[in-house]
Amino acid sequence: MALELVGKLVKTMPEVTGQGKNGAWQKQEFVIETFDQFPKKVCLSLWGDKVNDLKQYAPGDSLKVSLNLESREYNDRWYTEARAWRIEAADAAEGGQPQAQAAPAASRPRAAQPTATPFNASFDDDNSGDLPF
């Protein structure tokens, strides 16, 4: 599952390294804030040589991040990680244009509303006294 996220780099966490049975590994997490009407902060992680891709950006830079979501089970609990696999400057990826936002609901044209029937106009001929519902 490949997803893309565009936002502003808020913070980079310290790089974490370790040694496993397959050799040395490195991981770095970072936080970006989306440009939505209600911005969300998302923590993503980079693994291996992709950690070096993040070093060229500073907090405040606009980024376009390609990511995968991965979940795993441990002790009957599920943990989900957002793993970034590509980072680009949003300006270059979007052709210099900021991300297009959906128009707010209030500015969208509304469908023509049917004209309201005057209250009780359709029941004037009904002498049975029944309720209309």
Give me the pLDDT at residue 2, please.
79
Residue 36 included in any domain: yes
Residue 51 included in any domain: yes
Which domain, by its residues, includes 64? 3-93
Residue 15 included in any domain: yes
* Residue, of 69 and 93, whose pLDDT is higher: 69
Give the pLDDT mean for 7-12.
Answer: 96
In the chain, the number of structural domains is 1
* Residue, of 100 and 128, whose pLDDT is higher: 128
Q: H-helix or E-strand containing 91?
A: helix 90-93
Residue 126 included in any domain: no
Residue 123 included in any domain: no
Query: For the segment 72-117, what is each residue's pLDDT rounded down to a tens digit?
Result: 999 999 999 999 999 999 876 554 444 444 444 444 555 555 555 5
Give me the pLDDT at residue 114, please.
53
Which domain CATH number covers 16? 2.40.50.140
- Geometric angle at alpha carbon 41, from 38 and 42, rounded to 5°: 130
Query: For the segment 52-68, what is each residue's pLDDT rounded down to a tens digit?
Result: 999 999 999 999 999 99
Q: Is 90 exposed, middle or buried (0-12, 13-18, 19+ CB in 10 A)?
A: buried
Residue 120 included in any domain: no
Number of continuous H segments (helices) and E segments (strands) in the chain:
2, 6
Give me the pLDDT at residue 127, please.
61
Residue 19 included in any domain: yes
Give me the pLDDT at residue 101, please.
44
Give me the pLDDT at residue 111, please.
55
Query: For the segment 13-55, what is each residue's pLDDT rounded down to a tens digit?
Result: 999 999 989 999 999 999 999 999 999 999 999 999 999 999 9
Residue 35 included in any domain: yes
Strand pairing partners for 73? 78
